[in-house]
Chains A and B, each alone.
Chain A
Amino acid sequence: MLMELYGLLDDFPILILFVATIVIAMLSYEGGFRAGRWRSRRPEREEEVVVRSMVGTMLGLLTFILAFTFWIAATHFEAARQSLLTQANAIRTAYLRADLLPEPHRMEIRDLLRQYIDVRLDAYQSGNFKPVFPRSEELHSQLWSQAIAAREKTSSPIFAGYFIQSLNDVIALHTRQVTVRQEFRIPNTIWVVIYVMMTLATASIGCHGGLTEASRPLVAVAFVLIISAVMTLIADLDRPRKGSLRVSQQALIDLRNSMSAPNR
């Protein structure tokens, strides 16, 4: 159920999200403004100072929450980048250590590792990540049975041990990649609260404007734009696979190029 929600949000193009956020903010500002103007025509008027201090507090709260959420999203983005780099290194180590194994397992394992990278790069290029998970699992178990077979044949089990260690790393890092990408996201509750707070804060600013002035100040537009831009940036950072901010796959591409070079 949660997964579906994430998927739904991910299919939303970032530009539409930006426009939708602006529209929501504008509407709530307008609503607040009208409410404020209506109140100001009544005989028992409120003091403007009180409203101003409340609006100030709400804005402060909104700013802090946005800042922390931005920080969370940036941390996740960094984690996605880091885990890709670690994965590329683990695969490279395993590829090199395959040298320590007897033939034909060496060739077989290298071939499997090459396929392993291709699956990932293809998915990144086509944008279809569905086949990556089952295919990787399949390759893991093929690699593992090769490693076990090689271990039984080899004269120096220490070397096989080295390879097995780095194969375990490769598998563990796959799980990390999958989890970081799919689960290390900003929870839905945080999104709901941010949007609710943004709506309430812009409505209150509008209300304050309605109480004191006759027309809408131009600064309101700038304010709405800034808040929407920050929220969109958070959403963009939060989806490492899509949007304008994507994790670069250069480490994997370089690795793949060095692998296809002829052996020796």
Chain B
Amino acid sequence: MLAFTFGGAASHFDARRQALLDEANAIGTGYLRADMLPEPHRTEIRNLLREYVDVRLEGVRSEKIEQKIARSEELHGRLWLQAAASREKTPSPAFAVQFIQSLNEIIALHTRRVITGLEFRIPNIIWIVLYGITALTAASIGYHSGLTGRSRPPVVPAFILAFSAVILLIADLDRPLYGILEVSQRALADLQRTMNARMR
């Protein structure tokens, strides 16, 4: 039971990492493809995308997650307006379509990150069962040794430590934001650096 829950938590952790990586890639592509749009939309879109990355990075660092999600959705709307406006002006609609494609991807990945980050969690009922089983197992082992021996065997602390370590690990893997284990934001941070470098 513990082992399977561990497996589930570990794969959720991986899903969060994967979503972050895909998002960084989609934003990077969108940023580059904005090059193909006419001014002033190009600059406008790039500014919006830079702000978007800043919001994403801050959202993970600060505690105002809800606020950052709302801000992200607002930025999606503004990006979309810019894309639609530039499509009407551009001489080559094929390029505008390419940009729109990657914008759609950015928006879809936002949803995936929110879902994997906030909802891919171990359900409460599993936690309850997990703690119930652990307590019962420990109690029955204690009962067993109470029946047969007169003192507590020295293995008991080792046994309890091992179980607690695994439960701690599962809880830590399961926490999207405030654990010892944090999904590394490196891909997004690198993107932010590249974007700023290209600005100058």
**B163 nearest in chain A by CB position:** A61
Which of B23-31, B56-64, B112-120 is the contact stretch? B23-31
Residues of A participating in the B interface, judged by any CB pair closer than 8 Å: 2, 35-36, 39, 42, 44-47, 49-51, 53-55, 57-58, 61-62, 64-65, 67-68, 71-72, 75, 137, 141, 144, 148, 151, 157-158, 161, 164-165, 168, 171-172, 175-176, 178-180, 182-184, 187-190, 193, 196-197, 200-201, 203-204, 207-208, 211
The one of B7, B10, B28, B166 that contacts A175, using a Cβ cutoff of 8 Å: B28
**Nearest CB of chain B from residue A177's CB, rounded to whole Å:** 10
Assuming the contacts A57-B137, A148-B35, asked whether A72 and B14 have C-beta atoms less than 8 A apart, the reply is yes
| Cα(A180)–Cα(B181), bound, Å | 17
The one of B2, B21, B161, B169 that contacts A190, using a Cβ cutoff of 8 Å: B169
| Cα(A21)–Cα(B162), bound, Å | 18
Which B residues between 83 and 110 are near A, CB-CB below 8 angstroms?
92, 94-95, 98, 102
Query: Which A residues lie within 8 Å of B95 (CB)?
Result: 151, 157, 161
Q: Which residue, B13, B25, B102, has most C-beta atoms of chain A within 10 A?
A: B25
Given contacts A61-B163, A189-B180, 6 further A-B contacts (CB under 8 A): A57-B159, A161-B98, A190-B173, A193-B168, A204-B155, A208-B155
B158 located at the interface, meaning its Cβ lies under 8 Å from any Cβ of chain A in the complex = yes
B67 located at the interface, meaning its Cβ lies under 8 Å from any Cβ of chain A in the complex = no
Residues of B participating in the A interface, judged by any CB pair closer than 8 Å: 2-3, 6-7, 10, 13-14, 17, 21, 24-26, 28-29, 32-33, 35-36, 92, 94-95, 98, 102, 137, 141, 144-145, 148-156, 158-159, 161-163, 165-166, 168-169, 172-173, 180-181, 184, 186-187, 190-191, 194, 197-198
Assuming the contacts A51-B155, A54-B141, A158-B94, asked whether A175 and B181 have C-beta atoms less than 8 A apart, the reply is no
Query: Which A residues lie within 8 Å of B181 (CB)?
Result: 187-189
**B150 nearest in chain A by CB position:** A44
Query: Which A residues lie within 8 Å of B168 (CB)?
Result: 193
